[in-house]
Structure 1
């Protein structure tokens, strides 16, 4: 039998605060037994589980692994605006004039993540023109 990825684990200064942010990003939920001040907090969402663990050290370099988000019910740009509204920060904007590209944001503790085009946007850009 092979191994399964149970969850992705992130170091954090405030596990509960980070988990609350990511639960909102992913329209997920915190575990019922997670509360402010807990050293760990688990977020579950459609197809993924993220575990945040409180550690004393600070993030000092670019992430070696990051999350790419693909909006399901809104455009990339609408999703970027929503995420900025819940506390994300703009890191790098890679949107192109032709509509392609992505946006790199950071979460509350500076971890990078990207917002890509929605499936509908990808389909529209790939559709043959007449």
Structure 2
């Protein structure tokens, strides 16, 4: 027997607001039964699990010990890294901030970002580019 990931939870002060950010970033809807002020708000992932925002009383203080690495689903054929860069710009416009930019001139690398609650995540290159 083995364990399986049931859900991924993100601690925050305002679950509905953070779920709204992640909903836009992932292009997935917030649970329709959720409302502002809820203690937990979920987003159903296509894999069958949920991404759940949980209200906690304390602010984030140190670097995450666990984070999400996100990749664009498609490769921009015009240049290596273009789809990653476009996604970075898109999530920045949604309210993310850059923690560390590790992109390299040859298109390799990734960007470490933080969501509006300060939780880190990375945007990496699409799988097709990594394999190439």
- Which of 119, 129, 132 does residue 121 from structure 1 map onto? 129
List runs of 5+ in structure 2 lacking aligned partners.
Answer: 76-82
How many residue pairs were aligned? 124
Give the superposed CA RMSD. 1.4
Larger Cα-atom Rg = 1
- Is 1:86 matched up with 2:94? yes
- Is 1:56 matched up with 2:57? yes
Question: Per-residue deviation at 1:4?
Answer: 2.3
Partner residue in 2 for 1:30? 30
What do residues 62-115 of structure 1 show as CA deviations (whole Å, max 9, x unaligned)? 000000001013610011011111111111000011110000110001111000
Provide TM-score, normalisation by structure 2.
0.87
List runs of 5+ in structure 1 lacking aligned partners.
Answer: none
Partner residue in 1 for 2:120? 112
Question: Per-residue deviation at 1:119?
Answer: 2.6
Question: Per-residue deviation at 1:30?
Answer: 1.2
Q: Which 4+ stretches in 1 moved above 3 angstroms?
A: none
**Equivalent residue of 2:24, what SS?**
helix
Question: Per-residue deviation at 1:10?
Answer: 1.4
**Equivalent residue of 2:129, what SS?**
helix
Conserved 8 A contact 1:105-1:112: yes
Q: Matches of 2:99 and 2:85 in 1, distance apart?
A: 15
